[in-house]
């Protein structure tokens, strides 16, 4: 069991008032580089705290795409496990980071490299937050005249793992990011394959911050979805529809919609029949946007849909009045695109 920094602090200083930890936590999100820089606490406490790692992730390798707009890091966490995290330049002139929530994943989506690893363990909140802290600190090391924006404006939980299978630690992470950074709720997206009990929990959990949710749908035809996401619940689609309607009734507004993600797989879910089924499904629900994802090749049975097929699919959705877009593929040359994150035991996927 990995101990959080807070647990280690409480063990070291059992009678400190609660605000002391808040002072320390606040420092994690400043330019402080280590315990020595936390001048809001006493020198003796700073010295005692050096037994707790300032960062819970340690970079092993960093790869940069040819265009320079995507950076991928392989990070070592406690117990020598490894995860990947990605930094991508966004259209807002800042950066989006894609964070991992687990080491591996149990969901086995057929197109996803992480799914082939199986699940090793879930990350604790420190390890998810530190992916943000790592990139923030990385950006400050870029040369001063480099035309690189230094600000992270968006976070997507689309790296390794199923975030809702690690609900409590992801919730803790979200609340801390919202508390200590200027990244707002509409700039954070948690992507889920559709863990129904946790989606249900979100409806009534007062501590769940209403960031954006994206559900990886991949097909509005039950048998096709099961083929792509073998761990999909029985009768997933009517259950999702029922949940989505209740979610949107409670939280939906002009700025708060749901997103359905749809990876385009040649001959599997990309035909006009699939497009019409998707349009019908979405139109029953309402305030949902569709994001088509060009498939990024990994070592698996599926193939990429052609650009013309994706365009035709998109036109059918538009003709049925859906708000649908195609995601820009970034970092394919360094295996940092959607579905490509993987760490093979003793053989990292990046050099």
**Minimum distance between the CB of residue 109 and ligand SF4, rounded to whole angstroms?**
3
**By the 8 A CB rule, do 129 and 162 touch?**
no
Ramachandran angles phi, psi of 160, nearest 5°:
-70, 135
Among 107, 164, 279, 343, binds ligand SF4 (CB under 6 A): 107
Q: Which of 82, 84, 162, 169 is catalytic?
A: 84
Q: Which stretch binds ligand SF4 (CB under 6 A): 15-23, 72-80, 84-92, 155-163?
A: 155-163
Q: How many residues bind ligand SF4 (CB under 6 A)?
A: 11
Q: Does 294 bind ligand SF4 (CB under 6 A)?
A: no
Q: Does 105 bind ligand SF4 (CB under 6 A)?
A: yes
Q: Which stretch binds ligand SF4 (CB under 6 A): 2-10, 145-153, 156-164, 343-351?
A: 156-164
68-72 long-range contacts, Cβ below 8 Å, gap at least 24? Answer: 69/330, 69/331, 70/330, 70/331, 70/334, 70/336, 71/138, 71/336, 72/331, 72/334, 72/335, 72/336, 72/350
Q: Does 193 bind ligand SF4 (CB under 6 A)?
A: yes
**By the 8 A CB rule, do 142 and 150 touch?**
yes
**By the 8 A CB rule, do 232 and 225 touch?**
yes
Q: Does 162 bind ligand SF4 (CB under 6 A)?
A: yes
Question: For residues 77 and 107, which CB has a smaller minimum distance to ligand SF4 in the complex?
Answer: 107
Question: For residues 216 and 287, which CB has a smaller minimum distance to ligand SF4 in the complex?
Answer: 216
**Minimum distance between the CB of residue 234 and ligand SF4, rounded to whole angstroms?**
18
Footprint of ligand SF4 on 201-260 (CB under 6 A): none
Active site residue 84: yes
Question: For residues 48 and 300, which CB has a smaller minimum distance to ligand SF4 in the complex?
Answer: 300
Q: Does 161 bind ligand SF4 (CB under 6 A)?
A: yes
Q: Does 324 bind ligand SF4 (CB under 6 A)?
A: no
CA distance 29 to 32: 8
Of 110, 111, 118, 114, nearest to 99 by C-alpha is 114
CA distance 85 to 349: 13
Question: Residue written as tokens 């707002």?
Answer: 184
Among 114, 173, 287, 349, binds ligand SF4 (CB under 6 A): 114
Token code pair at residue 54:
């300032």
Q: Does 163 bind ligand SF4 (CB under 6 A)?
A: no
**Minimum distance between the CB of residue 101 and ligand SF4, rounded to whole angstroms?**
9
Of 8, 129, 118, 158, nearest to 57 by C-alpha is 129
Residue 60 burial (10 A CB sphere; 0-12, 13-18, 19+):
middle
CA distance 91 to 325: 15
Q: Which of 98, 109, 112, 338 is catalytic?
A: 338
Q: Give 217's strand partners.
A: none
Q: Which stretch binds ligand SF4 (CB under 6 A): 59-67, 158-166, 284-292, 324-332?
A: 158-166
**By the 8 A CB rule, do 98 and 88 touch?**
yes
Active site residue 338: yes
CA distance 187 to 151: 13
Among 5, 54, 97, 115, binds ligand SF4 (CB under 6 A): 115
Q: By rule CB under 6 A, what string of x and - marks binding of each residue 50-89 to ligand SF4?
A: ----------------------------------------
**Minimum distance between the CB of residue 160 and ligand SF4, rounded to whole angstroms?**
6
Question: Residue written as tokens 């749908």?
Answer: 217
Active site residues: 84, 338
Give the residues lining the site for ligand SF4 (CB under 6 A): 105, 107-109, 112, 114-115, 160-162, 193
């Amino acid at each position: 069991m990995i101990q959080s920094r807070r647990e280690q602090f409480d063990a070291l200083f059992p009678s400190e008032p609660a605000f002391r930890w808040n002072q320390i936590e606040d420092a994690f999100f400043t330019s402080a580089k280590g315990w020595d820089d936390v001048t809001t606490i006493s020198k003796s406490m700073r010295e005692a705290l050096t037994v707790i790692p300032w960062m819970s992730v340690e970079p092993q390798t960093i790869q940069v795409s040819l265009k320079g707009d995507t950076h991928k890091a392989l990070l070592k966490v406690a117990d020598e496990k490894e995860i990947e995290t990605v930094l991508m330049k966004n259209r807002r002139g800042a950066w989006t980071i894609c964070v991992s929530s687990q080491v591996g994943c149990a969901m086995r989506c057929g197109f996803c490299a992480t799914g082939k690893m199986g699940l090793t363990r879930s990350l604790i909140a420190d390890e998810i937050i530190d992916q943000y802290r790592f990139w923030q600190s990385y950006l400050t090391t870029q040369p001063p005249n480099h035309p690189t924006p230094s600000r992270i404006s968006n976070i997507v939980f689309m790296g390794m793992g199923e975030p809702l299978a690690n609900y409590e630690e992801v919730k803790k992470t979200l609340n801390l990011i919202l508390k200590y950074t200027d990244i707002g709720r509409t700039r954070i997206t948690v992507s889920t394959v559709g863990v129904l009990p946790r989606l249900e929990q979100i409806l009534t959990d007062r501590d769940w911050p209403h960031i954006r949710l994206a559900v990886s749908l991949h097909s509005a035809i039950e048998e096709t979805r099961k083929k792509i996401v073998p761990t999909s619940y029985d009768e997933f689609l009517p259950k999702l529809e029922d949940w989505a309607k209740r979610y949107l009734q409670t939280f939906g507004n002009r700025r708060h919609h749901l997103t359905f993600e749809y990876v385009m797989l040649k001959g599997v879910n990309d035909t006009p029949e699939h497009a019409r089924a998707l349009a019908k499904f979405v139109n029953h629900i309402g305030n949902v946007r569709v994001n088509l994802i060009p498939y990024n090749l990994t070592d698996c049975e599926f193939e990429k849909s052609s650009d013309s097929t994706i365009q035709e699919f998109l036109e059918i959705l538009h003709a049925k009045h859906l708000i649908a877009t195609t995601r820009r593929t970034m970092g394919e040359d360094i295996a940092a695109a959607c579905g490509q994150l993987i760490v093979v035991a003793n053989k990292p996927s990046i050099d």
